[in-house]
Amino acid sequence: MDPTQDRTDPHPQAPPASEDPAALRGYYRQMALIRHFELRAAEMYTRAKIGGYCHLNLGEEATVVGLMAALRPTDYLFTTYRDHGYALARGADPGKVMAELFGRATGLSGGRGGSMHLFDAGLRMLGGYGIVGGQMPPATGAALAIAHRGEPGPDSEAVMCLLGDGTTNIGAFHESLNLAAVWHLPIVYVIVNNHLGMGTPVEAASGEPALYRRGCAYRIPGARVDGNDVIAVRDAAQTALEQARTEHRPRLLEAVSHRLRGHSVVDPARYRSAQETERLREQDPLPAFRALLVEDRILDQEAANRIDEECEQAVTAAVDFADASPPPDVATLFDHVYATEVANTHFGLPGDSPTGPGLFADRPGKE
């Protein structure tokens, strides 16, 4: 493997002249939408509109948009709990995403999942997962289903499974990679390496801090890409997905980026010095990409400002939609417990007798 891939300080390059200007403007719009959405989500959390845990994609917008640009509509996506940006870039309605964060019935998961469990079957986004590494076994299972249904080839479906750098140290990572290699599965595992597993640096937690090499034990090819360069991320992901499709073999991709805030909204990130915080702000991918587009005359300042304003308005509308949406009806509390009805299942509230009212047959609205 090329040792130059071990560079960890990202330096996004100007887009090649062959790139479609409209697509580049679209990437900037998506990145700006994610930025405005996440900033407003942080505000709504401090105003107690959002409960539970809330993890933001601030600083990772180029990675998010590049990865989603590489996916086809027929591909399947499994994410970590840092999932808002992926849902937006995959095409989810911002109002429904914000409503889910608010715990409202109009949310992507009906208000049941909150920030960490965004799900949209139509977009083939099969969940954010709140447990570290919890997404890896089901994502591997989805790839197994694809392998059983059809042959490898350019039209094959594929799976993209996102994980953080901390996930590379847990059992599900190694078990999933081993099975994917043994069973020849069409899946790309993407490590979004923002250098910190909560507050622990990668170098202090991984015997091999070049995380794209962690698949070597399973003969899974790996590559590292500058996560601040949306075009580089897109191209690297497209290459990995194409190999997964045509060979039905897994791939490992590491996107190196930085999160600009703490691990979650409530994390003050005191483990960073003021100098480090300032250095990360200087590497912020959003203004860097904007500057590149303006320099190449793909955008001018007025057009870029207009995109920012439109994204801010879209997020304001999303907040208004979420605020006006109702919470889930208590009568639906036990909906979706099982995919199909199960006899003698108790649907009572805590404290109800399991042999009295509350059995499935006595459930309101059921015969």
pLDDT per residue, tens digit, the chain (367 aa), is 343 345 455 566 777 778 899 999 999 999 999 999 999 999 999 999 999 999 999 899 999 999 999 999 999 999 999 999 999 999 999 999 999 999 999 999 999 999 999 999 999 999 999 999 999 999 999 999 999 999 999 999 999 999 999 999 999 999 999 999 999 999 999 999 988 888 787 887 788 888 999 999 999 999 999 999 999 999 999 999 999 999 999 999 999 998 877 788 877 777 778 887 788 788 899 999 999 999 999 999 999 999 999 999 999 999 999 999 999 998 888 888 888 888 877 777 766 665 555 554 455 544 4
CA distance 54 to 42: 8
DSSP string, 124-160: TEEEE-SSTTTTHHHHHHHHHHHHHHS--STT---EE
DSSP string, 292-352: HHHHTTSS-HHHHHHHHHHHHHHHHHHHHHHHHSPPPPGGGTTTTSSSS--TT-B-PPTTS
Contact by Cβ (8 Å): 61, 285: yes
Encode pLDDT of 8-45 as tens digits: 555 667 777 788 999 999 999 999 999 999 999 999 99
Give kind and range of the element (H or E) at residue 285. helix 285-295
Strand partners, 78: 161
pLDDT recorded at residue 276: 77
Encode pLDDT of 232-289 as tens digits: 999 999 999 999 999 999 999 999 998 877 788 877 777 778 887 788 788 899 999 9
Start-to-end CA span in the chain (Å): 64
Calculate the CA 64 to chain-centre distance.
7
Contact by Cβ (8 Å): 213, 241: no
- Residue 188, judged by CB atoms within 10 A of its CB (0-12, 13-18, 19+), counts as buried
Strand order in the sheet with 222-226: 125-128, 76-79, 159-164, 187-193, 251-256, 222-226
